Each structure stands twice: as structure tokens, then as C-alpha cells.
Amino acid sequence: MEDTILSLPDNGPIAFDLIDVSVIAVPNIAFLLRTQAARIVANWALRVATLPAFRAMPELALDDVQRHIPEVLDMALIAIATSDPTMDPGPLERATDLARSHGRDRLLDDFTIGDVMAEFSALRREIWSAIWRVVTETPSSIQFLQELSVRVGETFDAISTAAAEAWVDAYAVGAID
């Protein structure tokens, strides 16, 4: 088994092993990913920093790059872990509310809607990178990964759409002025 040890702000030292997914459920993996939140957000920031929009603003502070992303990620992972989002829509609603705030603020930052989409695409990608750090793909894991893929997909589709709609709404009412 491979050990990965990481020390990052807020989380402290983290050690984890690759997981046998035949004995774990989606909610467990989602909560496990929350322990990697600092690493996911850090990698996300490093990824989006290479986007042209961010490279054009080298003076942008880390807080301004991240804005609502750490909170969006936290709520998204809770939403993914929730067994039935229709019975408990709270986490997803909170995540989409934060994504809307992010979309609106990005317009004020002079980012395009494409930049906003790229941010959420990068976050989704970093979540999958985190998943592959702890899950191995085996014949017995296919069903689990399919279920996880649906949860991640539905959650991030909702979040990305909310951010994009908020950007468009703000643009329509002239927030850019």
C-alpha cells in the first residue's frame, strides 16, 4: 500500500492508504475527501493560477483567487455524501448559493463566464484527482465508481450552472458597470 503524508494548513498531518472500495460507501469517501480539502483547494489554486485570466492579474491575493471555493467544496462534498439529496437538499442548496455568490463576484473581478466555468471545471478535476489518490480501480469498484461519478456529476453540474447563471444575471442588470 502506498502512504501519502501531507501537512497543510487547517488539516494538520494527513496520512491515508489506498482504499478497498468493496468495503466503503459513497458517503464515506466524500467525508474522507473532506480531510483532503486543504490539498484539493491548494491544487485547485495552483491550477487556476495558470489560466490566462489569473496570469493577467499577478497581484491578486490568495483570498481573492479562492473567494468562495473552500466553502463551495466543503458543501459540495457534504452534498455528495448525502444519501438522498431530495430528502435533504440543504447541503446542495448551500453549495449552489455559495457558487452564485462566486459567479457574481467574479463578474466584478472582470472575469468572463468562461473563466468561471474553467474554475469549477478545475475544482471537479481536483476532486477526481483526490478520489484517485485514495481509490483503486478494480472490477469490484466499478459499481461504486459509477455511483460516485453520478453524485459528483450531479452536484457539480448544479454548482457550475448556479455560478454561470449568477454571472449572467449580474451582467444583465449591469453589475459590470
The binder of other proteins chosen from 4, 28, 136, 140 (CB under 8 A)? 4
Q: What's 7's DSSP letter? A: E
11 Cβ neighbours under 8 A, 6+ residues apart: 35, 36, 37, 38, 39
Q: What's 19's DSSP letter? A: B
Q: How far apart are CA 130 and CA 14, in angstroms?
A: 13
Q: Report in angstroms how near the CB of residue 127 gets to other proteins at its nearest.
A: 14
Q: How far apart are CA 160 and CA 143, in angstroms?
A: 25
Q: Report in angstroms how near the CB of residue 78 gets to other proteins at its nearest.
A: 23
Q: Which region, judged by CB under 8 A, interacts with other proteins, from 39-47, 81-89, 105-113, 165-173?
A: 39-47
Query: Is residue 137 close enough to count as binding other proteins by CB under 8 A?
Result: no
Query: Is residue 1 close enough to count as binding other proteins by CB under 8 A?
Result: no
Q: Report in angstroms how near the CB of residue 18 gets to other proteins at its nearest.
A: 15
Q: Which region, judged by CB under 8 A, interacts with other proteins, from 22-30, 55-63, 78-86, 110-118?
A: 55-63
Residue 117 CB neighbours (<10 A): 16
Query: Is residue 8 close enough to count as binding other proteins by CB under 8 A?
Result: yes
CA distances for 61 relative to 45, 57, 64, 66, angstroms: 11, 9, 5, 9
**Interface contacts to other proteins, rule CB under 8 A:** 4-9, 39, 42-43, 45-47, 49-50, 54-55, 58-62, 64-66, 129
